[in-house]
Amino acid sequence: MSPELTIVIPAKNERQTLPRLLDSLKRQDYELMATTRIYLADAKSTDGTVEFAQSYEGLDVKVIAGGLPSVGRNAGAACAGSRYVLFVDADVELVSPSLLRRTVETMKRRRLECATTNIRCSDGSLLDRMIYTGNNVVQYFASWTKPFATGMFMMFSKQKFDELGGFNESALYAEDYLLSKQVSPMRFGIVTGGVTTSNRRFQKMGRFKIMWMFFKTALNTWNESYFMKEHQYWTENGEAHNPVG
């Protein structure tokens, strides 16, 4: 019998954040959690991320070779023989212990092809939290016509994921947006419960720069060539950021 769910986590140097994510997964009331395969797609971490993941007890974690998020996510999905695949970033934490179970149930009940949840900022300023709240509001209204999800929490039916060809590995920005916007609004859902993330994205690039990038993303939704450009999202001042987030 094929497994129901596979989880894919792209990561590089996430030793400090990974424990919170894995602990929150272990707390899930999803009855198949203990036997659900989790692929950590590692992009040559040097901080002990791999060693921690391999020694983590209570979950079925397997480390595979990764790269940029699109490469790591595709690598994990290629290993999956399950009905659904959940892509989740290494620096998030599932807030509700029922989130995973309810997302799978919603996917089944509504015959969805993609589902996501709200994003909350667990630290940082009031402005940081307001930015994520604004993103959630935009995501809700966009789901009626042109839905989108982020790699922080994105569950796909494996059949639809394969049909769409997975994440575009040529995209240097917003590859998760590019993929999820191809899903019909009738087959897309937002599940309550949420995940929390840090404000490190704002610290790396600045709040207003990221808000401006989000705005330009919306303006270029039909212009795929825009997403093939660097935009200094993965690199800034010539130095590579963590290839996650």
d(C-alpha 95, C-alpha 114), whole Å: 20
Check residue 146 and give its pLDDT: 85
DSSP structural state of residue 10: E
Check residue 240 and give its pLDDT: 35
- Contact between residue 10 and residue 245 where contact means Cβ atoms under 8 Å apart: no
User: What is the per-residue DSSP string for 196-219?
Assistant: EE-SHHHHHH-HHHHHHHHHHHHH
Check residue 234 and give its pLDDT: 44
The model's confidence at residue 130, banded by pLDDT at 50, 70 and 90, is confident
Lowest mean pLDDT among 23-32, 105-114, 149-158, 229-238: 229-238
Check residue 21 and give its pLDDT: 97
Q: Kindly state the percentage of the chain with pLDDT values over 90.
A: 61
d(C-alpha 227, C-alpha 237), whole Å: 20
Mean pLDDT of 126-135: 79
The model's confidence at residue 133, banded by pLDDT at 50, 70 and 90, is confident
d(C-alpha 138, C-alpha 134), whole Å: 6
Cβ of 130: how many Cβ atoms within 10 Å?
Answer: 12
- List alpha helices for 56-206, DSSP H: 69-79, 99-109, 126-142, 158-164, 175-180, 200-205
- Type of residue at 113: E
Compare 138 and 200 and report the one with higher pLDDT: 138
Domain range 5-235, its CATH number among 3.40.630.10, 3.30.43.10, 3.40.50.300, 3.90.550.10: 3.90.550.10
Alpha-carbon distances, residue 48 vs 12, 16, 30 (angstroms): 10, 9, 28
Mean pLDDT of 130-135: 81
- pLDDT tens figures, 186-223: 999 999 999 998 766 666 766 666 665 666 566 566 66
Provide the whole-model pTM. Answer: 0.85
DSSP structural state of residue 121: E
**Tokens 């599940």 correspond to what residue?**
191
Break the chain into its structural domains and give their ranges.
5-235
Check residue 209 and give its pLDDT: 65
CA neighbor of 12 nearest in space, from 119, 91, 102: 91
For residue 144, give the 3-state DSSP assignment: coil
The model's confidence at residue 236, banded by pLDDT at 50, 70 and 90, is very low
For residue 176, give the 3-state DSSP assignment: helix
The model's confidence at residue 64, banded by pLDDT at 50, 70 and 90, is very high
Cβ of 7: how many Cβ atoms within 10 Å?
Answer: 25
| 207-219 vs 126-142: helix crossing angle, rounded to 10 | 10
Helix (H) or strand (E) run with residue 24 in it = helix 18-26
Given a cut of 70, whether residue 39 has pLDDT beyond it is yes
Mean pLDDT of 16-28: 97
CA neighbor of 101 nearest in space, from 4, 186, 21: 4
